[in-house]
């Protein structure tokens, strides 16, 4: 699960120069993500064609008024399939990250706050796990753990992301836990639990959220990769990865089947990455100001 932004973050510490404004493009991206969410939630209610209905009268048809994005090789409406397919991508992306952050955040915070033997052991363990190529492990486990389901995919990817989340959260929490206000809280006799939840967590939350979004983008791309290997949700359930994979055999006759789902996927990833990147720049600066 290599992602350029994560590698970048791991290797450099950018010098904040001026407060990075969020800008209109940021809100356009937020709007686009929100639109995709609405589409995924209300796909059943929206006036869409049945994504599984095979219309043999129009096979591999190009975009038209009746089929907005055209039809695939067995006459299914591509637009409807993209809207329904967003459900899988969104579920896998956010589901896996909820698991990854759900486990990685408490461990990372505890390790950074307690330090000592727990931290040494935990960090060594996680770094060894990081050395193991997560993508190979994911594929190996998914190919042997049959029958596959959306839930299993979410669990496997979520667990595979824990070491990375741990590293990011621990690094962020280490920087915060030496701050004066944490020490002040300790001196005032606040319980560990209170310091962790009320002082530490809110202060690493911005960094956590921006990484969550970038992580979601990485996981969605990973789901697409798995679909190519036949390891994602089984057809005929549409997912963006499945659709792009299905387009391989008819690439010559029907390039639309490759282009529209790719566009949907890339725009979604672009928005997530952009929001994540902007948030990181935005909050890095405020953190330094504190």
Partner 1 sequence: MLIGIVFIISVGSFYLIHLLPGNITTIIEGPGASPANQAKLFKLLGLDRPIYEQYFVWLSNVVHGNLGTSFISQESVAATIRTALPIDLEMIVISQILAFATAIPMAMRSARKPDGIVDRIFGAGSFTLLSVPPFIVIILLVLFVSIKLGIPHTGVSTYVSFGSDWIANLESMALPSITLAIGSFVVYFRVLRSDLIATLQEEFITMARSKGISQRRIMWRHAFRPSSVALLGAAGVNIGGLLAGGFVVQFLLAIPGLGYTLIAAINQNDYLLVQGIVFVVSVGVVLINFIFDFIVNIVDPRISRE
Which residues contact partner 1 by CB under 8 A?
Answer: 2, 4-5, 7-8, 10-12, 14-15, 128, 131-133, 135-137, 139-141, 143-146, 217, 221, 224-225, 228-230, 241, 244, 247-248, 251-252, 255, 258, 262, 265-266, 269-270, 272-274, 277
In the complex with partner 1, which residue's Cβ is closer, 12 or 187?
12
Q: What is the CA radius of gyration of the chain?
A: 22
CB distance 23 to 278 below 8 Å: yes
Nearer to partner 1, 136 or 187 (CB): 136
Compute the least distance from the CB of residue 57 to partner 1, in Å.
Answer: 26
CB 63 within 8 A of CB 122: no
The CB-of-228 to partner 1 minimum distance in angstroms stands at 5
Buried b (16+ CB within 10 A) or exposed e, 257-284: bbebbeebbeebbebbbbbbbbbbbbbb
- Minimum CB–partner distance for residue 134 and partner 1 (Å): 8
| 197 secondary structure, DSSP code | I
Which element (helix H / strand E) includes 110?
Answer: helix 78-114
User: At closest approach, how far in Å is the CB of 283 from partner 1?
Assistant: 17
Q: Which is nearer to partner 1, 35 or 184 (CB)?
A: 35
Closest approach, Cβ 47 to partner 1, in A, equals 29
Pair of tokens at residue 149: 């389901």
Nearer to partner 1, 88 or 196 (CB): 88
Cα 275 to Cα 26: distance, rounded to the nearest angstrom: 6
- Specify the residue, 15 or 117, whose C-beta has the smaller distance to partner 1: 15
Rounded to whole angstroms, the Cα distance separating 153 from 161 reads 12
């Amino acid at each position: 699960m290599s992602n350029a932004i994560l590698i970048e973050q791991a290797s450099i510490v950018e010098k904040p120069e001026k407060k990075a404004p969020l800008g209109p493009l940021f809100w356009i991206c937020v709007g686009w993500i929100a639109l995709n969410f609405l589409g995924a939630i209300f796909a059943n209610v929206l006036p869409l064609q049945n994504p599984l209905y095979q219309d043999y009268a129009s096979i591999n048809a190009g975009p038209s008024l009746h089929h907005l994005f055209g039809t695939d090789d067995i006459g299914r409406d591509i637009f409807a399939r993209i809207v329904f397919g967003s459900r899988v991508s969104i579920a896998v992306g956010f589901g896996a990250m909820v698991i990854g952050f759900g486990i990685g955040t408490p461990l990372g915070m505890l390790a950074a706050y307690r330090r000592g033997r727990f931290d040494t052991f935990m960090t060594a363990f996680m770094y060894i796990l990081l050395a193991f190529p997560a993508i190979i492990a994911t594929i190996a486990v998914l190919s042997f753990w049959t029958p596959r389901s959306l839930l299993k995919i979410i669990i496997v990817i979520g667990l595979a992301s824990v070491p990375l989340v741990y590293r990011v959260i621990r690094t962020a929490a280490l920087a915060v836990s030496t701050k004066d206000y944490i020490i002040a809280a300790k001196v005032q006799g606040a319980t560990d639990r209170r310091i962790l939840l009320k002082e530490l967590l809110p202060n690493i939350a911005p960094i956590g959220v921006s990484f969550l979004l970038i992580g979601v983008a990485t996981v969605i791309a990973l789901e697409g990769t798995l679909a190519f290997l036949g390891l994602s949700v089984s057809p005929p359930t549409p997912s963006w990865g499945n659709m792009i994979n299905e387009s391989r055999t008819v690439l010559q006759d029907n390039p639309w089947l490759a282009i529209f789902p790719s566009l949907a996927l890339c725009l979604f990833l672009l928005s997530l990455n952009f929001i994540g990147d902007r948030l990181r720049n935005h909050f890095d600066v405020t953190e330094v100001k504190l």
